[in-house]
Amino acid sequence: MLRRYTNAAHRGGWNTAWGLPKDTEIVSKMSGVYIYHIPTEFVDERWMRALSDLELGGVGQRRGEGFGQVRVCDDFHCDIQEVH
């Protein structure tokens, strides 16, 4: 990992169906950014497929609740605005 921009937090909640609290977990807050670099000589179809799978499936637990979304080289990452 080259760099990370994130904060940790504790996340819990309430399961209304069971009437019980959810387990409290340590999570990375929304909009966390992790920067990795893969040298171009290592980029091949396997990497592209693995990264695509990450975008489709996400990472971590509670993905069904919207956690763990991943964006790889999203257009948003290339929108650079100069600040004057």
Alpha-carbon span 10 to 28, nearest angstrom = 9
Find where tokens 């790889």 sit: 72
Q: How far apart are CA 84 and CA 79, in angstroms?
A: 16
What local confidence, expressed as pLDDT, does residue 83 receive?
64
CA distances 47 to 38, 50, 52, 53, 84, Å, are 9, 5, 8, 10, 38
Whole-number pLDDT of residue 71:
85
Residue 19: per-residue pLDDT: 92
Domain range annotation of the chain: 1-30, 38-84
User: Which pLDDT score, from 0 to 100, does residue 82 have?
Assistant: 64
Query: Tens place of pLDDT for every residue, the chain, 84 residues?
Result: 788 888 888 888 898 999 999 889 888 877 788 888 888 888 889 988 999 999 999 988 888 888 888 888 877 767 766 666
